[in-house]
Amino acid sequence: MARPRQLVQATVILLLATWFLRSSSAPAMLAPPLPPQPPDTLCIPYERDALRAFKASLTDPGNYLSSWRDEDCCRWIGIECSNRTGHVIKLELDGSNTMGWPMGGEINPSLLTLRHLKHLDLSFNDFGGMPIPEFIGGLRSLRHLLLPNSFFGGQIPPQLGNLSNLLILDLSNQLHSCYSPDLAWVSQLWKLQYLGMSQVDLSAAVDWAHVVNMLPSLVTLELQSCGLRSTMPPPLNSNLTSLENLYLGSNSFNSPFGANYLAWDLPALRILKMHSCGIWGPIPAAVGNFTYIQSLFLDNNNFSGMVPSTFKKLKKLQMLRLSHNLISGGIEDLLHRLPIDELQELHLQHNKLAGRIPDRLDHFTSLSTLRLNDNKLFGEVPVSIRELTNLKELRLNSNNLHGTITEDHFSNLTRLEVLWLSNNSLTMLVDNTWNTPFKLTSASFRSCILGPHFPTWIGQRTLGTLDISNTSIHDSIPDEFWIAVSRARILDLSGNRIVGRLPPFSLFGGLGAILLDISSNQLVGPIPTLPKSLLYLDLSGNNLSGELPSDIGAPELQVLMLLKNSFYGTIPCSLFELEQLKSLDLSKNQLNETLLDCPHAPETSNIFMLSLNNNNLSGEFPSFLQRCKELKFLDLAYNQFSGVLPTWIGSKLPYLAFMRLRSNMFSGGIPVELTGMKGLQYLDIASNNISGDIPLSLGNLVAMAHTPNQQDALFQIVHFRLASTYMFLIDPSDMDSLVVVTKGQQLEYTTGIAYMVNIDFSCNRLTGKIPQEIGMLVALTNLNLSWNHLSGMIPQTIGELQAVESFDLSHNELSGEIPTSLASLTLLAHLNLSYNNLTGTIPSGNQLRTLDDQPSIYIGNPGLCGPPVSSNCSGIGITRRALEDDHEGMSDVLSLYLGIGTGFLAGLWIVFCGFLFKQNWRIRWFSFCDSAYDWIYYVKVALSRASLARKMPELSSADSSAWMCWSELAAVYDFDVLPCLSCLHSDVRPPPPPAAPGRTLCIPRERDTLLAFKAGLTDPSNYLTSWRGEVDCCRWTGIECSNRTGHVVNLQVRSHTNSEGELVPGTTIGGEISSSLLTLRHLKHLDLSSNNFGGKPIPEFIGVLQSLTHLTCKLLSYENNPLANSL
Query: Mean pLDDT for the chain?
Result: 83
Whose CA is closest to 775, among 755, 754, 804, 753?
Answer: 804
Residue 550 and residue 595 share a domain: no
Please indicate whether residue 46 or residue 739 has the higher confidence score (pLDDT).
46
Round to whole Å and give the CA distance between 43 and 114. 12
Per the structure, the count of domains in the chain is 3
Q: Of the residues 774, 797, 821, which one is the last residue of a structural domain?
A: 821
Residue 1038 and residue 1097 share a domain: yes
Q: Three-class SS string for 540-605?
A: CCCEEEEECCCCCECCCCCEEECCCCEEEECCCHHHHCCCCCCEEECCCCEECCECCCCCCCCCCC
Residue 726 and residue 612 share a domain: yes
Please indicate whether residue 848 or residue 477 has the higher confidence score (pLDDT).
477
The reply to whether 712 falls in a domain is yes
Whose CA is closest to 1041, among 988, 1001, 1005, 1080?
Answer: 1001
The pLDDT assigned to 1025 comes to 78
Say how many C-beta atoms besides its own lie within 10 A of residue 736's C-beta: 17
The mean pLDDT value for 961-973 works out to 33
Q: Is the pLDDT of residue 17 over 90?
A: no
Residue 545 and residue 611 share a domain: no
The pLDDT assigned to 901 comes to 72
The reply to whether 773 falls in a domain is yes
The DSSP bridge partners found for residue 34 are: none
Q: What is the pLDDT of residues 261-304, one digit of tens each?
A: 888 899 999 999 999 999 999 999 999 999 999 999 999 999 99
The pLDDT assigned to 733 comes to 47
Q: What is the largest CA-CA distance in the chain?
A: 166
The CB-based long-range contact list for 430-439 (8 Å cut-off, 24+ gap) reads 430/405, 430/406, 430/455, 430/457, 431/407, 431/457, 432/456, 432/457, 433/457, 434/407, 436/410, 436/460, 437/410, 437/411, 437/412, 437/413, 438/410, 438/413, 438/414
The reply to whether 634 falls in a domain is yes
The reply to whether 192 falls in a domain is no
The mean pLDDT value for 110-117 works out to 96
The pLDDT assigned to 929 comes to 67
Residue 620 and residue 554 share a domain: no
Q: Is the pLDDT of residue 236 over 90?
A: no
Q: Is the pLDDT of residue 390 over 70?
A: yes
Confidence band, pLDDT 50/70/90 cuts, at residue 547 = very high
What letter represents residue 705's amino acid?
A
The mean pLDDT value for 92-113 works out to 91
The pLDDT assigned to 894 comes to 60
Q: What is the pLDDT of residues 1026-1080, one digit of tens each?
A: 888 767 888 888 888 887 778 888 888 877 665 455 666 667 888 888 877 888 8
Whose CA is closest to 790, among 808, 760, 771, 767?
Answer: 767
Q: Which domain does 981 fall in, by range?
A: 972-1125
- Identify the H or E element spanning 610: strand 609-611
Residue 603 and residue 565 share a domain: no
Whose CA is closest to 170, among 181, 156, 184?
Answer: 156
Q: What is the pLDDT of residues 906-962, one digit of tens each?
A: 766 676 666 666 666 666 666 666 566 556 655 555 565 555 455 444 433 333 333
The pLDDT assigned to 1 comes to 42
Q: What is the pLDDT of residues 506-533, one digit of tens each?
A: 899 889 999 999 999 999 999 999 999 9
Q: Is the pLDDT of residue 146 over 70?
A: yes
The pLDDT assigned to 1107 comes to 81
Please indicate whether residue 576 or residue 1055 has the higher confidence score (pLDDT).
576
Q: In this structure, what DSSP letter does residue 1092 have? A: B
Residue 631 and residue 501 share a domain: no
The pLDDT assigned to 196 comes to 97
Round to whole Å and give the CA distance between 603 and 579. 10
79-to-51, 87, 114, 367 alpha-carbon distances in Å: 10, 10, 12, 46
Q: Is the pLDDT of residue 115 over 90?
A: yes
The reply to whether 643 falls in a domain is yes
531 close to 513: Cβ distance less than 8 angstroms: yes
Residue 1074 and residue 981 share a domain: yes
What letter represents residue 405's amino acid?
I
Q: What is the pLDDT of residues 693-725, one digit of tens each?
A: 999 999 899 999 988 877 777 777 776 544 443
% the chain with pLDDT above 70: 81
The mean pLDDT value for 313-328 works out to 97
The mean pLDDT value for 747-758 works out to 79
DSSP 637-670: -SSEEEEEPPTTHHHH-TT--EEE--SSEEEE--
Q: Of the residues 798, 821, 844, which one is the last residue of a structural domain?
A: 821
Q: Of the residues 821, 841, 865, which one is the last residue of a structural domain?
A: 821
Q: What is the pLDDT of residues 584-607, one digit of tens each?
A: 999 999 998 877 777 777 777 889
Q: Mutual orientation of helices 960-970 and 1004-1015 as an angle, nearest 10°?
A: 80
Tell me the CATH number at 541: 3.80.10.10
Q: What is the pLDDT of residues 399-434, one digit of tens each?
A: 999 999 999 999 999 999 999 999 999 999 999 889
Between 380-384, 878-882, 926-930, 1007-1011, the lowest mean confidence (pLDDT) is in 878-882
The mean pLDDT value for 965-969 works out to 33
Residue 801 and residue 656 share a domain: yes
The mean pLDDT value for 455-473 works out to 95
The pLDDT assigned to 19 comes to 43
Residue 287 backbone phi and psi in degrees, to 5? -55, -25
Residue 664 and residue 523 share a domain: no
Q: Is the pLDDT of residue 735 over 80?
A: no
The pLDDT assigned to 972 comes to 34
Between 246-255, 412-421, 1008-1017, the lowest mean confidence (pLDDT) is in 1008-1017
The pLDDT assigned to 917 comes to 65
Say how many C-beta atoms besides its own lie within 10 A of residue 228's C-beta: 22
The pLDDT assigned to 107 comes to 95
The mean pLDDT value for 18-47 works out to 51
Residue 1111 backbone phi and psi in degrees, to 5? -130, 115
The pLDDT assigned to 264 comes to 87
The mean pLDDT value for 562-583 works out to 92
Confidence band, pLDDT 50/70/90 cuts, at residue 9 = low
The mean pLDDT value for 240-247 works out to 96
Confidence band, pLDDT 50/70/90 cuts, at residue 1091 = confident
The reply to whether 832 falls in a domain is no
The reply to whether 64 falls in a domain is no
1101 close to 979: Cβ distance less than 8 angstroms: yes
Q: Is the pLDDT of residue 202 over 90?
A: yes
Residue 769 and residue 640 share a domain: yes
Residue 592 and residue 554 share a domain: no
1022-to-628, 1014, 1055, 1068, 1069 alpha-carbon distances in Å: 55, 11, 10, 10, 9
The reply to whether 390 falls in a domain is no
730-to-656, 722, 1099 alpha-carbon distances in Å: 24, 9, 31
